[in-house]
A and B are shown apart, each in its own frame.
Chain A
């Protein structure tokens, strides 16, 4: 590699890195740590390494036509695998963290792919390397971010079926980019003019969604705690419902249900207060009671059993965001 292509490689990655840093900086609630962003970039690199021999084999069998459909399908699937894992394990719960994770995966992937191009393609001038690098990196980052965002939005209702339309969109962007419908320069201009803007729009919309969820749920938690502390809970609709379970469950189980309800509200309020502190630029102090609180909740969930949890579902509905929140608490 001569000095010029090295400079072009670095320059081509610069806008992608800047955009990734911008996304991370705009993440008001600091949903993703720098470490997790770096992990996603590294996994993106690994995905590219995994795809390389398969792509090579594909090209040798199907020729250049493989680049138009085979490679986009393979690459989007491989890049998105980690995003799906994060969503399935409730490590990613909102379009904000999904977009950052997806873009980081794509950035990592394009880093390796661009290096491969530098070695394999005939030498060109700096501008050609730059245009190729910027376009590829933005397309990879943007396409995987779209897959991750669409998946996390649809996951709550569709579960794993969400991966279908999400992948279709990501692959669509990739296929369009690889189709050669536009010359390289125009293709890069189009991708740079559309994808980052679209992602920013999604990002801001998602931040608003997160903020609405955060404050509305936080208020629910505080109201529940206030009612429990003031003794008004048993007269509330939730309290009346809980009391009605005495007919179906042993008294000690109903007591455990009540304790679980209280601890869930407390854990949820703690977690949300932490996000509010981050939003306002405070570094939340570590909470030594958190581990014990989560352990106690696990014990109570075991004690009330599956039937008890099902009966408690109207008061503690199992949903992806609450599970995401609990995973966050367990990991931090």
Chain B
């Protein structure tokens, strides 16, 4: 799996590609924490899941934990490109209802503007 990070102002984008197991869930959480830490840390996070093919239980937990941290910091976590098996799991477990979703990263940025 790969994690790509970028930041523009108070919005950070994390792109996940591959299968997210327990180890990568920790890496994902760590990446999100890094992006949000410090005086110029991002308030909002956009997570692009277009290339994510699988999320383990710890992966789902990581999304929830990051969303909770963003909420506590007055920000938001927006999921982009939720599709395939990952979307099916999110919908089935009714976790989708806890996030705002967008079709694309520009769409998510627009939603945050």
Contact = CB atoms under 8 A, between A and B. Distances in A.
A215 interface: yes
B85 A270 contact: no
22 contacts: A214-B57, A215-B57, A215-B61, A219-B56, A222-B56, A225-B85, A225-B88, A225-B92, A229-B88, A269-B89, A269-B93, A270-B94, A273-B95, A274-B93, A276-B60, A276-B61, A277-B95, A277-B98, A279-B61, A280-B64, A282-B68, A285-B97
Given A219-B56, A222-B57, A282 B64 contact: yes
Contacts of A222: 54-57, 89
Contacts, number: 58
A284 B97 CA distance: 9
B58 interface: yes
A280 B72 CA distance: 12
A284 B95 CA distance: 8
Interface residues of B, number: 20
A274 B94 CA distance: 9
B92 A230 contact: no
Interface of B: 22, 54-58, 60-61, 64-65, 68, 85, 88-89, 92-95, 97-98
Nearest to B56: A219
A230 B85 contact: yes
B1 to A, nearest CB: 15
Interface residues of A, number: 24
A282 B98 contact: yes
A270 B93 contact: yes
Contacts of A219: 56-58
Interface of A: 214-215, 218-219, 222, 225-226, 229-230, 266, 269-270, 272-274, 276-277, 279-282, 284-285, 287
A287 B93 CA distance: 9
Given A229-B85, A276-B60, A280-B61, A287 B68 contact: no
Interface on chain A toward B: helix, strand, loop, or mixed SS? helix
A227 to B, nearest CB: 10
A270 B22 CA distance: 19
A176 B88 CA distance: 57
B56 A225 contact: no
Nearest to B64: A280
A280 B94 contact: no
Contacts of A269: 89, 92-93
B58 A215 contact: yes
Contact of B65 (A272, A280, A284): A280
B28 to A, nearest CB: 15
Contacts of A270: 92-94
Contacts of B97: 285
10 closest A-B pairs by beta carbon, nearest first, are A273-B93, A218-B57, A215-B57, A280-B64, A219-B57, A285-B97, A276-B61, A280-B68, A219-B56, A285-B94
Nearest to B69: A280
Given A282-B68, A285-B97, A273 B85 contact: no
A274 B65 CA distance: 14
A220 to B, nearest CB: 9
Tell me which of B89, B92, B93, B97 has the highest count of chain A C-beta atoms within 10 A of its own C-beta. B93
A225 B56 CA distance: 11
